[in-house]
Structure formats: C-alpha cells, structure tokens
Structure 1
Amino acid sequence: MFKFLLNPWRKWRASRHASHQLDAILAQFAPTRSLAERNEWLIELAYWLRRADRPAGATSTSWRYARLRYLLQVLENNPALAERVGQTVRSIVQDNDPVSLLCDTGLSSRSGFWGELVDRWQARFLPPTPNQPQLAALFALLFVGPHDAAWVDGLDDELVTRLHALFRTGLNDAATADTEDAAAQTRLERSLGISIQILVSQVRATGLSRAIRTRLDHVDVTDLPFYRLADAANAIFLERPDGALPSPEQIPQQLNYLRAVLDQCRAATASVYQHLDENGVSVEVVFQVERMKAWLGRIDLLLTAWADARASRRFVHLTAELVSASQHRRSVGYLIRATFADLARKVVERSAETGEHYITRDGKEYGAMVKAAAGGGLFTAATVYIKFFITGAHMSRVAEGFFASLNYAASFLAIHFAHFTLATKQPAMTAPALAHRLDQVGRPEGLDRFVDDTVAMIRSNAAAIAGNLVAVAPVAFLVQWVAGHVFQSHLISTEKAVATIDSFSILGPTPLYAIFTGVLLWASSLAAGWADNWFALHHVHDVISYHRRLRFMVGERRALRIADFWKRNLSGVVANVSLGFMLGLGPEIVSFFGPHVEVRHVTLSTGAVATAVGVLGSGVMHTAPFWLAVAGIALMGVLNVLVSFALAFIMAMRSRNLPRLDRWRITGAVLRRIVRDPLCLLVPRAPTESNPPGSTSTPA
C-alpha cells in the first residue's frame, strides 16, 4: 500500500525535469497543426534543451549550449526536417500576439500591492495554457529555469546567425526570403511602437494620478513631464489618418525629445521618493512608483530595439530581459522585497532618529545613561511587585495576561515620560541608527565612524543593563525585607519564591523564552517606526494643530502644543504600549495556538529573583538553584539584547542591499577594534578624528 502511494509521488517529482527524446520531439513538427499543439511542441523542445548536464572537468559555460549546437547540426544535416521546423517556428511567431509580451510581461497589472500579490499567488498554482494566442503566455511556459535569462543573453553571434538561418529555412528563393524578412521587420517595428504607446499611456495615467501628482512640486499640471509624454511618443509612433509617418529626417530629433521627456519623468519619480522621505511612506504609493519606474525602464529597452530593429544582438538582450522579467513576474518573494525595501528603509530611519539618543560617546553621556537606567530600574521594581499581585489573584490566563499587559504598559510609559530608560529596549532602536551609517562605510572615515558607533552602542547597552540591575535588585530586596521585618508579612509566599528561582534556571527553557522575548522587543520597535511613519504620512500634526473644534476649546497655541507633543512622543507611546501588551498577552496567544511560552525579561526577572531572596533569606544564595538562576539571568540579558539587535540590524542592512563582501569587511573591522582594546566596551574612549563627538552627519 505504501509503495502504491509512493510511486505516483516519485513520478510527479521526476516529471519536473523530464522531457522526451529529441527524435520523438522532431517527429511531431508540423506547421499545419493547431496553435496549441505547435506551442506544446516548442515547450517540449525547450525542456529538452534545458537538460544540460555539466561534463566532468568542464571549466567554461560553453557546455550549456552543447544541446543547442547538436540540434542545429542535426537540422543542418537534414534539410527537409529543417524546412519543416523553420515553417513551424515562423507560424508560431506569426500566430501569437507579441504586444502582451513586450508591454505586459514582468510588469504589474494591478494598481495596488495587495491585488498584485494575489495575482502572483494565483500564477504560482495556475500557469498560463498553451492554447492562448499570446507570446507572453508562451514565454512563461518556455522559460521556467532560474538561469534561462543568462542562457539567452550568453548566446554568441555564431549561434544567433545559425538560429536566424533556421528561422528562414523553407523560404523558396531570395526574393521571397527578402519579402518575408521585410514583412516580419515591419510587424516587429509596429509591435514595438504599439507597446511603447501602451506603456507611455500607463506612465502618463499614473504620473497624473492624485497619489503621485500631489507629491510633486509643480503647481501647474501642464508643467509635469507626464503630461507632455503622450504627445512626444505620438509624434513618432502614432499613425496619421492618411497613413503618413514622420520623415526619416525628423525621427532622430523627435526620438531625442522623447528620451529627454522620459529623463524628466524619472527625475519627477525621484522627487516623489524625496517627498516620501520627508512625509512618510505608503505601501501603495511605493508600489505605484516602483511600477512606474519599471514601465520607464521597459520603454527605454523597447526604444533601443526599435531604433535599430535589425541589430540581432540587441534583440538577444531584449529577449533575455523579457525572460528575466517573466520569471520575476511569477515571484511572490521578489514583489515583497522590491515593494517593502523602501518602506523598511523609512521605518528603519524613523527608528534611527530615536536610536541616536541611546548611543553614548563620552564620559558625560555614559554617566547620564547609567543614571537614567537606574531610574528605569526603580520603576521596574514596582512593576515586579504588581505582577506578583496579579498572578496571586489566580485569574484566568487571558485575564491575567490582560492585567499584566496594563501593568507593563503603564510602567514603560512612566519610564518614558520620566526620561528614564529600560536597557532591553535600546538594541532594537540603536541597530537602525548604526545601519544609518552603512551608507558611508565605503570610505575609511565612514568605516571608522561605524566602528566607533558600534562599540559605543555595545558600551551603552552594558551601561543601561548595569544601571537597571543595580537599581532593581536592591530595591526589590529592600521592599521585601522591610515588609518581612517591619510588618511581619511576606509579599509573596515561600512556595512562590522557590518556584520563581527555579523557573529562571539556565538548565530549563529560560534561553528559549529569552529569545522569544527578544523577538517581542524587536517587534515593538517596528510598531514604533510604523506609527511614526503613519503620523507623518497622514499629516496628523497639521490635522491636530488646525482642528477647528480643538482650537475653540483650548486655543491655537495649545492646539499646536498638543500636536507637537504627539509628534515627539507618538513613537515612544506606541513602542511602550505595544511592548507591554506583547509581553503580557503575547505568551498567552502563542501558547493557545502553539507551544507553551513565557516572557523572560532580564530586568523584570532580576527583580523577581531579588524578591525571592528577600523571602527565603540570604541562605538561599549558597544553593545551586540560586546560581543556576543567576546564570540564567545573565544568559537572558545577552539573548534579549542580541536577538532584538540582530533582527533590527538585519532588517536595516536589507533595506540598504549591502553586498555580503562589505558585511564581512565591516564585521572584521569591529572585531579588530574589540580585540585591540577590549576595555572600550566598558570605558568610554575618545572617538576617531573622522567621527567627532555628537556627529550625526547624514549619509553622502
């Protein structure tokens, strides 16, 4: 039974790269068959060509074309077969519409990101059928390999010439061949012109849409290059009522004018990005701008081919670009990466503005960080005791998680507005600030600045953790000591104290829970960046400051002060509230749908252990469970910081598409600095000359 079920699965997997033998494929050639049958025949031939196994000892890529050379040799040695093949290929090209291939392949058909995402998901499971008279559908079925575009682009002149000769095979005489070539040339030029006009109309419509137009500096719409684009293209490609076309003498001048307008459209598109940088990023606007850039790039590609339609090498490159675009069109991951790169960059830059405040570069800033962290530790001690009271109430898990969320959120907001700090929140904010320096690492002074800031970030986090723990541990212990010795009452039971110490053991699931907490810390920084971006994108500051009823109630100056308050504090409020609810309700939600998880936050856990020591007495410090808990808390702090920093830094680097080689070079520079001067991680150092104190120069 098992073998009966396994055999179909093996056949299905093997069929992915299977193909018929060449003699069986060539025997099916016939130009009189239906279009679907001819398309299927060409698809099978493409699968046979793709089965190129690399010979042992081969050092060049010429082996990839061995099957193509063998096919051409077989056809050249068999004129009758070559004639039948040539007629069939010509009929396939003539009966399939090329316009969709030229102006649609690889370009988004939807006006919004989510609609395009759904289309691509459908395309992954519902490929086009070979009975469609569209070259775009045929291309999607012919070229399915990841290296097909490079294979096409690597065709040498000798192979291109032989393929062109095969395409002409079957034409009776030179006069007929010339006539057929001229007709094919005219059809190709006309298809290129129609495709360019279609793309121009799409660029014009998008460029003049409200989403794009309102983000441009021009007041008069007629001054926009998108408005003039259609006239510039029609002067070349639009057929007159009398059938006349521009004279050969006029075409170069009109072509240069069209290219100039296209350059102006690209410059206008760049100004939209500048507006987004200043006023917030929208996924839909980024998608539309990226789609318009792709259209402009395709117009340039088609214009180059149209300007010299007889240059075979240009058409080889055009075909390779269309193959690559067709494959990208089917890729869901490519769409997500391309669309969200700018959004991620903007969210990262918003977080970077906050992260700059958490990096200490001299002794004064270092001391201020320790004091602020100590203040955060005091608030955290109160949070720990309130959390004990909540768990002692024995409510349902959801209710307990909700009240714990309120406790955490209120505590974190109090720390924020008191201008104190919580150490584990810093890495997710400081990582984007470091990534902001990545634009300059190509220069020696930029690399020095990045290394200086990396070391300062590590030192700042160490100072913040030390400040938190130095305050939370003695305060939590002292409160319990006073309660036990003065009021003769423990704030938590002895059993609860023992269970608390045991729960933080390094030998238990503490490391996994600490990693989960690091992910939540990073997620809260994303929420903060998104909120700040939303505030800027929708001009909420202006909405509040000019709100009519609010002005009547508090006056114009107070309305402006309220708007300024939210502009300064929205990201902080969202970060702290979201982190509080993630720490409180996040474990309950995850545990409901999956494995049981808990929160392990180094500062809160230290306060809990200090409270347990106050209940059990100093004798517990001589036991193994206590020191296992200490080791667990130490690892917990490392994992909280490391995971949240790593996730934020990886996202920041991906938003800048930094090459892997540069990543290794940067990592090596940081490690060399630490090995040369390990104490720089604990004691402030004078920055390098290229990175003066407080330097916040923008990337070049």
Structure 2
Amino acid sequence: MFRSLQTFVKKWRASRNSGHQLDALLAIADQHAQYAERSEWLIELAHWIHRGGTVQPVAQEPLADEARRQPEHTRLRYLLHVLDRNPLWKANVAGILRALLRESDGISLLCDAGMPVHSAFFGALFERFEASLIPPAPNRRDLAAIFTLMFTAAEDADWIAALPTDLLTRIRDLFTYELDSGNPREGVPFSLDLLAALHNLTCQISSTGLSQTVRSRLGDADVRVAMEKQPFYRLTRAMLALESAHQAEEAGADPGKLLHEVNYLRVLLDECRIATDNVFSHLYRNGVSVDIVFQIERMRMRIQRAEHLLDAWMASDDPHASSRLVAELVKANHASQSVAHLMRSNFSLLARKVVEYSADTGEHYIARDRAEYLKMLRMAAGGGLVTVVTVCVKFAITGAHLQTMLEGLLAGVNYAASFLLMHFLHFSLATKQPAMTAPTIARELDGAGTPEGVDSFVSSVVALIRTQAAAVFGNVMLVFPVCLGVQLLWHAVFHANIISPEKAHATLHSFSLIGPTPFYAALTGVLLWSSSLLAGWADNWFVLHRVADALSYNRRLRMTLGPAGAARLANFCRSNVAGVVGNITLGLMLGLVPAIVSALAFSFEVRHVTLSAGSIGVALGVLGSSALDLPEFWWAIAGVCSMAILNVAVSFALAFHMAVRSRDLRRNYVRSLRGAIWRRVFQQPLDLVWPVNARPAHPDRVQ
C-alpha cells in the first residue's frame, strides 16, 4: 500500500480534478494494510476534504448554498456518494476506520489532546517548541497523533461543529458498514474510551485541587473541615459511584440511579470551576505566580473537557454531541500547539496585576483640579532641580573617556541615584508618568458604557494631557536655566567650562531634529515603559512571597527594632519596593542598554527630554549668546520638543495597549471614544493647559 500511496500522490499532483484525486485515493484503500499505511491513507483523505478543489455535483443533492458556505460538507457528501456506488471501497474505508479506533489509544485523544503534559509553564513552552519542530509520526498507535496530522487548521473545528444531521447519520452508518458481529473485537464501543477518559480527568482534577498550591488559596481556616467540603475531595468518589451505577444499569438495575450520579458529578464539576475562580481571585489579591496560574489554567481546561466528555457519553445516540466533541478536540489540539496561546493564557493574569499596580500608582499622577495641578508643577520643578546635578555628573563621566561598558554602568548608576532621590523627595520626572497613568485611563474604560462614564473618561484623558504638559514644563523650565546658570557660575569661579566648546557643538548637533533623534527618543520611551513593568512585577513578587509578613515577624528585627519598628520597616518596604526597583532598573537601562545595543546591533543613544534640555543649557552657557544665531541650536531645540512628544507618546501607547489587552476590551469600543475626546478639545481647548472647572481637590492623589 505504501507504494500505492506514493503513486496516488504523484497522480494527485498531476490531476487538478478533485473527483479524480478521490477516486485514486479510494482505489488504494486497504483495511488489511499495516497500521502506519492506514494512518497515512486516512491523513491524505482528511487533507482532500479540506484542501479544496472542484467535485462533480451529486445527483438529487443540489446544495449550492452549502457549497459556498461549507465546501468541506460538499466534499463529504461527494465522498459518501462515491462510497455508496462502490461497495468494495466502502467496506475497505469502514474497516480502516474501525481498525484505527480499535488499535489506537483513544484516551490520549479524549483526555490529553490540547492539554499540556508538563506540570510547569516553561516545560510546556519547551514542549510546544519541540512539537513545532518534530511533528508526530503516523505509526504511533495514538489517536491524538493522527488527529494532529489530519486537522492542521483551527478552522476545521468550525465546519465539523456545523455538520448537518443527515451527514452525521451517514458517517455513523459508515462506521458500522458490514460489521462482523461474530468478531467481538470489531464492535468494541467507543463509549468505553469516553468513560475511561472521564475517570482519568476526574482523578487529575482531584489531584491538582487537593495539592497545597490550590488548597492553601481556597481561604478556609479549618483545613480538616474544609477538606471534606471541597468538591475536589468528593470528585473521585462521585466518579466511582457513576461507574458503579453504569454497570448496574447494564445488568438491568434502575436507570434513574445513573442519572442521579451524572447530575451529582455535574454539580461537583461546577463547584470545582467556582473553586478555580476563587483561586484566581486569591492570586490577584495576593500576588500572581506564572507556574501556579499554569496549573490552575490546566485544571480549568480539564474541568471543561470532562464536561464535554460527560455530555457526549450521555448523548451517545445524538450525532451532534459527537460532532461538538470532535470540534472541541480539534480546537483544543490546535491551541495546544500555539506558543502565543500559551503565553497569552498564562501571562494575562500577571499582566493585569502589573497593570492594576500601575493604575493605582498612576492615579496619583493625574491632576484633576487646580490645587493638584499646582502641586504637580512644584513636584516637576523639584525633579528638574535634581536633574541639574544628574546632567553635570553625566558630563563628568563622559569627559573621562572610559571604556564604553564602564561608562554606561557609571551613567546608569548616576541616573538611578537621581531617580531614587526624586522618589524619596516626592519629586516628579515627567516621562515616567505616562506608563503609570495609561492603565488608570484604561481602567476607566470599564464604565464608559454610559454617557456619564464617557464624560468621566474624556475628563480623565484631558486631565492626563494637561498633567503631562505641566510635568514636562516644570522639568524643562527649571533644568534648562539652572544648568545654564551652573555653567556660567562654574566659569566665573574656576575660569573653566564644564565641557569644551567642541563638546558643546557636538551636543547640540547630536540633539538635532534632523537625524536619529526621533528614533532614539521613541526607543527611550520603550525603556520608560519597561521600567513600569518591572516595578509592577516587583510589587507582585513582594506580595506573592509575603515578604512584609516575613519582615514583621523576623526574630532579629523584632529584637533590634521592636515589634512596632519591624512593622514600620515592613510597611516602608511594601510602599517603596516597586518605586525603588522601577527607578533603579530605569536608571541602569538608560545607561547600559545604549552601550549594549551599540556594541551588538546599531548605534543608540538615550534621548530623554529633561536630561537633553539640561545638556543644551550647559552647551549654551559654554558657547555664549552667539549660539542663538546658530541653526544647530534651534534644530536641537526642535529635537528636544520631539523628545517630549515621543518619550511620552510611546511609553503611554505601549502601557495603554497592554492595559486594554489585559482587560479584554475591543478595539472598536476604544476607537469610538476618540470622537468624544476631540469634541471636548474643540469645545474647551484651554482645559488642556489649565483646569477650567475647579473641583474639590484630593490631596492624596498627587504624591
């Protein structure tokens, strides 16, 4: 048969008529061939069904609408029609189908298809990479392997689920065509595999649910009482009772007992699903672990699969139940091969947790009234004052002409120290805010389904734009003149410049709008957004591992600082861990990433609006008033303006996109709000730069 299959492939490539291809394929069907050859034949048949091509219309079945909507249904009808006209071909095809069901491991398909085998996230990730490189071989006696090779597209689930009743009936009749009733192996019912797979799944669900990972997050104080009440504890016994009722019914007992056990098992599966939701809620409140999310997500998939199997087993006479089960298996099997699906399903909760931390923090950086607006200006001015020292130290580091990586490390330490000082002095750096405030705006989308919600959302967007403008203005308007004054004072006292005139000209030229400055500014925005992610991750890690409790009850700390002092230290760490991690990582990234990228890929320099404005102030002090007549000075000013826009826009856009994706909001829904924002801008343009409508201040909002 193997040579015949090779001959068929050659004929298929030479023929464009789908009907001739099918005839050639059916002619070589042999139910007595080796297992691998029968598997390959069935795979080719499945590919013929969904590969396309034209077939001759079947007499008395002119379903033109179906051909346009579901061409696979038309080809299935044609296949069954050809088999009805050729009894020998039909007997071979039916024999192949029954033999594959009999000789293959069906539990692997029903129970494991679409389920990750490994118990940890990174093991499953490696498993999917490996599966994409090494597809399963058709000689494996495994229905899941044949399934994977037969249905290679996720769209196959749609046409399988939509199969009409008459086609499903004819397909079922094909399986029983010329069934040898004298051979007991021929008539082994597939329902036994369904029951065995259901037993397997309930054991796996119960084992995961009773593990310490899940049990410790169910929230019950009395563990012993809670164990007896948990649905995971009762699930295995309910499955055993169902199997006993099934055996009793086959022996002629009351069938009502079986229905009662089935309903009880359904109730327990529902309770298990509710318990998994409670675990997700606990994780969201107390810190997210990707490995724990992976295990809970896999358990939820098993619960859903068990319900599908139970439905198909109870409705064994309904062909649509079987088609729905097959469609679900195809969809799950295809999703199990997608790395993107694995990342999305397991990182979504962590992303939402990180986004929510940013949203809570970002609320403090949106000035909604005049008092908050003036406070933001003062905070930004303080941030600009600290940046003056940062700029001077940066020029000292670059003037030492050190090795690139060492210079980048020292620059990163300089930036990190400055950002930490701003954090503890409650000053503000303008470009750090967009990545924090974007999730706050996205969270308000949840209530934008009403006119009041739309108005609140638009007001928040306008307040955000106004606040960012105030922060940039406060930073730049202080750092530029103070840096200029520091250079003039330095020259008057020491009769020397902070940088040489050549370095001043090079600084102005490097900031020019004509050149890579916009590109560098956009990449700097990516670094600003990345630091907000790391800050959210640090906050999640601190809560997940209960570091605050460990500090509060640490014996040495309590002996040294006292119980109250240890508690104050724990609260201080809890309040500042995210800010410290975010500021340190941002500073190190601004110093080291350009050095690493320049060494490995392409030339890259940080273009931060506040730091660059201070650098221009120093350069202007060195060159004097004659620099005002230089085109490169004004091109550098234009470049700083582009930095202000791109630093803010890129970091905000990335954070907002992540926030929207974490909340499963539709793009059309978000896009419909743009008109409301533009209407507010045209109606009240002054509101973009100054709070027109004074509202009661919230002192705790801007900190």
TM-score, normalization: structure 1?
Answer: 0.92
Alignment: residue pair count: 675
Instruction: Name the CA shift for 1:227/1:371 in 2 (closer, same or farther; >3 Å).
Output: same
Pairwise CA distance, 1:277: 1.6
From the superposition, tell whether residues 130 and 50 of structure 1 become closer, same or farther in structure 2 (CA, over 3 Å).
Answer: same
Displacement, 1:687? Answer: 8.8
Question: Partner residue of 2:653?
Answer: 646
1:399 match: 406
Corresponding residue of 1:197? 199
- Counterpart among 481, 493, 516 of residue 500 in structure 2: 493
Range moving further from structure 2, 537-546 or 85-94: 85-94
Which residue, 415, 422, 437 being the options, matches 2:429? 422
Deviates more, 1:665-674 or 1:399-408: 665-674
C-alpha distance in structure 1 between counterparts of 2:345 and 2:308, whole Å: 20
CA distance in 2, matches of 1:226, 1:375: 57
Structure 1 residue aligned with 2:354: 347
Q: Is the 8 A contact 1:269 1:293 kept in 2?
A: yes
Report the residue type matching 2:461 in the other structure.
Answer: T
Are residues 244 and 405 of structure 1, via their aligned partners in 2, closer, same or farther at CA, if it must alter by over 3 Å?
A: farther
Is 1:233 the counterpart of 2:239? The answer is yes
Call closer, same or farther: CA 1:400–1:317 in 2, change over 3 Å.
same
> Can you give the 5+ residue segments of structure 2 that lack an aligned partner in the other structure?
1-9, 56-63
- Among residues 592, 595, 606, which one is paired with 1:588 in the alignment? 595
How far 1:506 moved relative to its partner? 0.5
Match of 2:127 in 1: 119
Distance 2:111 2:694 in 1: 54
Mapped to 1, the partners of 2:229 and 2:173 lie a distance apart of 50
Partner of 1:41: 41
AA in 2 matched with 1:516: L
d(CA) in 2 for partners of 1:205, 1:273: 18
Flag the 1:225–1:146 CA change in 2: closer, same or farther, 3 A: closer
In 1: Cα distance, 2:351 partner to 2:277 partner: 18
Aligned to 1:476: 483
CA contact 2:380–2:430 (8 Å) conserved in 1: yes
Q: Which moved more, 1:52-61 or 1:347-356?
A: 52-61
Q: Does the CA contact (< 8 Å) of 2:432 and 2:528 recur in 1?
A: yes
2:135 and 2:700 map into 1 onto residues whose CA distance is 51
1:572-607 Cα distance to aligned partner (Å, 9 max, x none): 111110000000111111112211111000000000
Q: 1:489 to 1:346 in 2, by over 3 A?
A: same
Instruction: Give the deviation of 1:539 after TM superposition.
Output: 0.4
Judging changes above 3 Å, is the alpha-carbon distance between structure 1 residues 316 and 694 closer, same or farther for their aligned structure 2 residues? Answer: farther
Instruction: Check conservation: 1:413, 1:577, Cα contact below 8 A.
Output: yes
Do the aligned partners of 1:54 and 1:64 also contact (CA within 8 Å) in 2? no
Out of 648, 652, 673, the residue aligned to residue 666 of structure 1 is: 673
1:456 aligns to what?
463
Distance 1:241 1:300, change over 3 A: closer
- 3-state SS of paired residue (2:296): helix
Q: Is the 8 A contact 1:520 1:582 kept in 2?
A: yes
**Residue 85 of structure 1: CA displacement?**
1.8
Deviation larger for 652-661 or 537-546:
652-661
TM-superposed CA distance for 1:24, in Å, is 2.2
Q: Which amino acid aligns with 1:76?
A: D
Q: 1:298 Cα deviation (Å)?
A: 0.6
Aligned residue number for residue 327 of structure 2: 320
Could you tell which deviates more after superposition, 452-461 or 245-254? 245-254
Alignment of 1:62-461 (within 5 A): 62-171=70-179, 176=181, 183-184=187-188, 187-218=189-220, 219-220=223-224, 221-238=227-244, 247-461=254-468
Rounded Cα–Cα distance in structure 1 between residues aligned with 2:176 and 2:32: 17
* Distance in 1 between residues matched to 2:620 and 2:298, nearest whole Å: 62
Tell me how far 1:270 sits from its aligned partner.
Answer: 1.2
Deviation of the 1:486 alpha carbon:
4.3
Q: Secondary structure at the match of 1:21?
A: helix
Q: Secondary structure at the match of 1:555?
A: helix
Report whether the alignment pairs 1:613 with 2:615.
Answer: no
| TM-aligned CA deviation for residue 244 of structure 1 | 6.3
Q: Assess if the C-alpha contact under 8 Å between 2:395 and 2:499 holds in 1.
A: yes
SS of the residue 1:249 aligns to: helix
Instruction: Measure how far apart 1:169 and its partner are.
Output: 2.5
Q: Cα–Cα, structure 1 residues 129 and 271, in superposed 2: closer, same or farther, change >3 Å?
A: same
Per-residue deviation, residues 124-163 of structure 1 (Å, max 9, x unmatched): 1111111111111110110002311112112111221222
Give the drift of 1:262: 1.4
1:5 — aligned with what? none
Q: Distance in 2 between matches of 1:70 and 1:395?
A: 77
Matched residues in 2 for 1:165 and 1:107: separation?
A: 31
Q: 1:18 to 1:291 in 2, by over 3 A?
A: farther
Unaligned runs of 5+ in 1: 1-10
Amino acid at match of 2:240: N
The Cα RMSD (Å) is 2.7
Q: The residue matched to 2:190 in structure 1 has which SS?
A: helix
Letter in 1 for 2:163: L
Distance 2:694 2:156 in 1: 51
- When structure 1 is superposed on structure 2, of 317-326 and 445-454 the one drifting more is 445-454
**1:639: Cα distance to partner?**
0.6
Query: How far has the Cα of 1:440 moved from its partner?
Result: 2.2
Kept in 2: contact 1:269–1:289 (CA 8 A): yes
CA–CA separation in structure 1 for the residues paired with 2:254 and 2:279? 37
Mapped to 1, the partners of 2:631 and 2:269 lie a distance apart of 73
Q: SS in structure 1 opposite 2:646?
A: helix
Could you tell me how far 1:617 is from its partner in structure 2?
0.8
Q: State whether residues 551 and 567 of structure 2, in contact with CA within 8 Å, keep that contact through their aligned partners in structure 1.
A: yes
SS of alignment partner, residue 388 of structure 1: helix
In structure 1, C-alpha distance between the alignment counterparts of 2:623 and 2:374, rounded to whole Å: 34
2:153 maps to amino acid: G
8 Å CA contact 2:245–2:257 kept in 1: the answer is: no
Q: % of aligned pairs identical? A: 48
Q: Given residue 227 of structure 1, which amino acid in structure 2 is its aligned partner? A: Y
**Contact 1:84–1:170 under 8 Å retained in 2:** no
The answer on whether the counterparts of 1:504 and 1:510 sit within 8 Å (CA) in structure 2 is yes
**Could you tell me how far 1:335 is from its partner in structure 2?**
0.6
1:680 aligns with 2:687: yes
Cα 1:344/1:491, change in 2 over 3 Å: same
Q: TM-score, normalising length from structure 2?
A: 0.91
Q: Which residue of 1 aligns with 2:21?
A: 21
- State which drifts further: 74-83 or 411-420: 74-83
Distance 1:217 1:39 in 2: 50
**Structure 1 residue 351: Cα displacement:** 1.4
> Which residue identity does 1:117 align to in structure 2?
L
What secondary structure is seen at the aligned counterpart in 1 of 2:438? helix
CA distance in 1, matches of 2:118, 2:678: 47
Paired position in structure 2 for 1:633: 640
Residue 559 of structure 2 corresponds to which residue in structure 1?
A: 552
